[in-house]
Amino acid sequence: MDVENTDCPAAEYLVKRKVLDELRLDEVAKRKTWSNKPPLGEQVKESLRCSVPKLKHTVLRWVPVFGWLPQYNFRENAIGDLISGCSVGIMHLPQGMAYALLASLPPVFGLYTSLYPVLVYFIFGTSRHISIGTFAVISIMIGSVTERLAPDSNFVVNGTNGTGSVNTAARDEYRVQIACSLTLLTGIFQILLGVVRFGFVVTYLSEPLVRGYTTGSACHVCISQLKYLFGIRPARFTGPLSLIYTLVDICRLLPETVVPELVVSILALFVLIVVKEINACYRQKLFLPIPIELFVVVVATIISHFCGLRDTYNISVVGEIPSGVKAPQVPDASLFSKTIGDAFAVAIVGYAINISLGKTFALKHGYKVDSNQELVALGLSNTVGSLFQCYSVTSSLSRSLVQESTGGKTQLAGVISSVIVLITVLKLGPLFENLPKAVLSTIVLVNLKGMFKQFMDVPMLWKSNKADLLVWLVTFISTILLNLDLGLAVSIGFAMLTVIFRTQLPSYSILGNIPGTDLYLDTDTYMEAKEIPGIKIFRSSTTIYYTNAEMYLEALQEKTGIEIGKLLTEKKKRDEKLKRKQEKEKKKAKNEAKKQKAAVSHLSTGMTEGKFSAGLKEPNQESPDEGQANWAYQHDMADSESDTGCDDGDDSITRESQHGVEEKRRTCGLTTHSIILDISTTSFVDTVAVKTLKNIFRDFGEIDLDIYLAGCQACVVAQLEAASFFSETIPKSKLFVSVHDAVLQILHQPGHPDLVLDMPCTTQM
């Protein structure tokens, strides 16, 4: 291959080389015929070998803290981690208690969940900025399970006045068992997925799906907190449309609203919204964001305690919060069969939220997050946490933003936040017993602001990608109507269908050349793209495989204007007509031979012996024996030519057939003699695709149309070779490096002498 380096301007280049088909490319580029990958046996032996460097690498991969903690820079990171850890720890207290109510658990278990899993993630996690702990979406998913398996109706006891009351102690104890069993099973799923390197599963949860799902979950969270804001007790509904039924029941119970509780909710909402907006507007000027959530909790607790809001105005409060930590205990494994489906859903959703936040911060700060190790870290956090009566965790957007914005640099900030939670659990927990639940519900609602902002995705997706908009809407609606578990399953199924439909319905185009270049673009999109006379260049926008192979063939015929079925039928009719004509001529020749043979025999019997001898001496007259031998020879030759097909007869028939095909092309306005299939977008081929390409070569070849392939990737060439695609009828010389190589090869073939060669071999751009 010759490449000319000429003095060209900066915006131009000049290339001169030979036309490359696949065979020439193998010679020029020296394609490898061997694999650098060791055999399977060697790979197994290598994986089983043990050495100190390999052991060290394995330990550092599975326990990342051993890699970064010894290199911790106290001078650069300590102050930032201390400040962010304190800030996040202060947020953990109100959010932990508030989100525990979402999970239908006592508030103290939200504090436990903000303590133990954070310490586990510190050891095994790879993200430096996310804050592990309670989160609204996971909490509402846990709450749906605990309320389904332990409804209030199962714990009703008779009162002294004949009315029923709920045994809240027994109910809460059983709900904690359910939550812990669900969390342990969730952690096991996540660990197993991480060990088998199944972190890529999150790629099937696209960003529109995750955002639509979290927005729908936010609506569930919002509806579930209305009962605390209004002080009412709506009935519990399960199954599809339960959210709608709950909202209708809340509206029915609005006349029974506890006004003092509503006043407390409105005041808390007002203060929280105003101060959070101040934090957002002046975040660049504030050294630390104002911990308004903690202030509201403290002030509300003090007012409730000294004013006796529970006894005087019947305002619901948090109740008893035991101090200290409980001994670990193994969750009830008998509940696994009842929660296995919910556990898998929680595992996938929790991991999707965690890895999306982790990768966002990693990209911003220039480090790498291991998706498989994140699965293991999150699974261990849930597994260990379930032993200490914690429920499932994931990262929180609000806390993670605070941890990053206040100067957090490493996972050590999580340890500091856990210390603050631990102090609260050990000593300060009982002080919050008089905290109104309405205040905790307002904290939950205010923190849903970021999720409700995701409604702005709708107009943005309408402008950018309507398929993603459809995924977002279907996910949101299915989550609202079918609840969180079924909604997630339907959403993933629909998202997969959109991928299938996109590959089944690609765009097909005919390419034309931009004069003076080697560019071939869609003629429907670019006005300067001109088709080359006699050549059709066809391209699909996606991979050819079994779901769209038939449509590929149909689009090829439609775009090129060549109805292969019709032309093959006409060719068959012409061939049959030629065959009948040949048989008719053969029969006529046989009859003529028989007549002449009979005439010669009749003449020979009427001659005298002298005349017969004289006839033999006359060179210009035919003797009977000679005539008989000659006609017999001609008769045998005619039979041989008709049966075996001699060159002269076959050539005449072939010329007549080709003349008929070309005449038919001119009649139909078809002047195409070559078709180039641009398969540069194909990343793999299956057996159906290989069969389709073979049929294209065979069928179009029968009507004297040459087929060429262009732009085939090396992996696809290897797959074609493995499928025995190349043969004497489809040689590798039909496969070219680029469309331009194929075009130049066609234009320089001697079979098209009437074509004006205005395509330059040297391309200047």
Spacing of C-alpha 208 from chain mean position: 12
* 614 pLDDT higher than 80: no
User: Is the pLDDT higher at 297 or at 583?
Assistant: 297
Amino acid of residue 726: F
Q: Report DSSP letters for 380-398, one per residue.
A: HHHHHHHHTT----EE-HH
pLDDT at 594: 80
pLDDT of residue 641: 41
Instruction: Quote the tokens at residue 50.
Output: 């043990």
The per-residue pLDDT for 634 is 39
> Of all residues in the chain, what percent carry a pLDDT higher than 70?
86
Q: What is the pLDDT of residue 381?
A: 96
Q: Is 561 helix (H, G, I), strand (E, B) or coil?
A: coil
30 or 315: which leads in pLDDT: 315
Q: Decide if 600 contacts 629 (C-beta within 8 A).
A: no
CA dist 410 and 300 (Å) reads 34
Query: Quick one: pLDDT at residue 626?
Result: 40
Q: Is the pLDDT of residue 308 over 90?
A: no
What does each C-alpha distance from 708 to 538, 632, 723, 758 come to in angstroms? 10, 49, 18, 21
678: phi then psi, degrees, rounded to nearest 5: -80, 105
Cα separation of 626 and 609, whole Å?
16
Task: Please name the residue ranges forming H helices in 686-752.
Answer: 687-702, 714-722, 739-747
Residue 3 half-sphere exposure toward CB, CA atoms < 13 A: 3
| Contact assessment for residue 190 and residue 379, using Cβ atoms and an 8 Å cutoff | yes
CA distances from 210 to 199, 284, 457, 458 (A): 16, 30, 12, 14
CB-based contacts of 670, cutoff 8 Å, min separation 6? 561, 562
- Tell me: pLDDT of 415 over 50: yes
Could you report the per-residue pLDDT of 563-587, keeping only the tens digit for each? 887 887 877 787 788 888 888 888 8
Q: Which residues contact 698 (CB under 8 A, 6 or more apart)?
A: 729
pLDDT tens for each residue of 139-185:
989 998 999 999 888 888 765 544 568 888 899 999 999 999 999 99
703: amino acid identity, one letter: I
CA-CA distance, 99 to 136, in Å (whole number)? 6
Q: Which pLDDT score is estimated for 82?
A: 92
* Nearest partner of 23 among 681, 694, 709, judged by Cα: 709
CA dihedral 133, 137, 140, 141 (to 10 degrees): -100
CA 297 to the chain's CA centroid: 44
Q: Could you tell me where the beta strands, DSSP code E, fall in 468-527?
A: 508-513, 520-522
- Rounding to the nearest 10 degrees, give the CA dihedral for residues 625, 627, 629, 635: -150
Q: In degrees rounded to 5, what are phi and psi of residue 79? A: -65, -45
Whether residue 358 contacts residue 374, with contact meaning beta carbons closer than 8 Å, is answered with yes
Lowest mean pLDDT across 49-53, 212-216, 642-646, 692-696: 642-646
Query: Are the CB atoms for 175 and 150 separated by under 8 Å?
Result: yes
Q: For 591-641, what is the HEC assignment?
A: HHHHHHHHHHHHHHHCCCHHHHHHHHHCCCCCCHHHHHHHHHHHHHHHHHH
Region 4-21 average pLDDT: 68
Of 737, 747, 744, whose CA–CA distance to 762 is shortest?
A: 744
Q: Mean of the pLDDT values across residues 227-241? A: 86
d(CA 202, CA 378) in angstroms, rounded, equals 14
The yes-or-no verdict on residue 689 having pLDDT over 90 is yes
pLDDT band at 562 (very low <50, low <70, confident <90, very high): confident
Q: Give the separation between CA 343 and CA 142, rounded to whole angstroms.
A: 9
Question: Exposed, middle or buried by CB within 10 Å (0-12, 13-18, 19+), for 547?
Answer: middle
pLDDT score recorded for residue 760: 54
Count CA atoms within 13 Å of residue 578 on its CB side.
Answer: 20
- Residue 353 CA, chain-centre distance (Å), reads 17
Q: Crossing angle of helices 466-504/136-149, nearest 10°?
A: 80
- Which residue shows structure tokens 């999970």? 103
CB atoms within 10 A of CB 138: 29
Instruction: Locate the domains of the chain by residue range.
Output: 65-155+166-501, 508-565+668-764
Q: Which amino acid is at 627?
A: G
First to last CA, the chain: 19
Residue 187 pLDDT greater than 80, yes or no = yes
Is 138 in contact with 348 (CB distance < 8 Å)? no
Beta bridge partners of 707: 675
Contact 417, 295 (CB under 8 A): no
How far apart CA 667 and CA 650 sit, in angstroms, is: 25
pLDDT score recorded for residue 109 = 93
Mean pLDDT in residue range 74-101: 89
CATH among 3.40.190.10, 2.60.40.3880, 3.30.360.10, 3.30.750.24 for 508-565+668-764: 3.30.750.24
More confident call, 483 vs 469? 469
**Residue partners of 270: CB distance under 8 A and separation at least 6:** none
d(C-alpha 107, C-alpha 421), whole Å: 13
Please tell me the predicted confidence (pLDDT) of residue 310. 86
Please compute the mean of the pLDDT values over residues 738-753 and round it to a whole number.
83
Among 374, 2, 398, smallest CA distance to 201 is for: 374
* Length of the chain in terms of residues written: 765
Whole-number pLDDT of residue 35 = 62
| Tens of pLDDT, residues 238-293 | 788 889 999 999 999 999 999 999 999 999 999 999 998 998 888 888 877 888 88
- Torsion sign across C-alpha atoms 758, 760, 764, 765: positive
What's the CA angle centered on 168, arms 163 and 172, to 5 degrees? Answer: 155
**Mean pLDDT over each residue of the chain, to the nearest integer:** 83
Instruction: Quickly state the pLDDT bin for 754 (edges 50, 70, 90).
Output: very low
Residue in this structure with the two tokens 């954070």, named with its chain if needed = 118
Q: According to the model, what pLDDT value does residue 240 have?
A: 87
Residue 1: the pLDDT is 44
Give the model's confidence band at 708: pLDDT under 50 very low, under 70 low, under 90 confident, else very high: very high
pLDDT score recorded for residue 159: 55
- Return d(Cα 328, Cα 351) in angstroms, integer: 25
Q: Which residues contact 434 (CB under 8 A, 6 or more apart)?
A: 301, 304, 305, 309, 310, 317, 318
Q: Which of 673, 493, 683, 653 is nearest to 581 (CA)?
A: 653
User: What pLDDT, in 10s, does the model give residues 423-446?
Assistant: 999 988 888 888 898 998 898 898
- pLDDT surpassing 50 at residue 635: no
Residue 20 is predicted with a pLDDT of 84
Q: Is the pLDDT of residue 703 over 90?
A: no
Strands 706-710 and 735-736, by their bridges, are parallel
3-state class of 360 per DSSP?
helix
CA atoms of 596 and 295, how far apart (whole Å): 125
Q: Give the angle subtended at the CA of 680 by the CAs of 677 and 681, to the nearest 5°.
A: 110
SS3 label, residue 717: helix
Residue 11 pLDDT greater than 80, yes or no: no
pLDDT band for position 599 (cuts 50, 70, 90): confident
pLDDT value for 678: 95
What sign does the CA torsion over 535, 536, 541, 544 have? negative
- Asked if 396 and 358 touch (Cβ cutoff 8 Å), the reply is no
The tokens of 398 are what? 């609000």
pLDDT recorded at residue 603: 64
Calculate mean pLDDT across residues 368-373. Answer: 90
CB 208 within 8 A of CB 457: yes
Cβ atoms of residues 357 and 131 within 8 Å? no
Nearest in space to 104 (alpha carbons), one of 279, 196, 224: 224
| pLDDT of amino acid 645 | 40
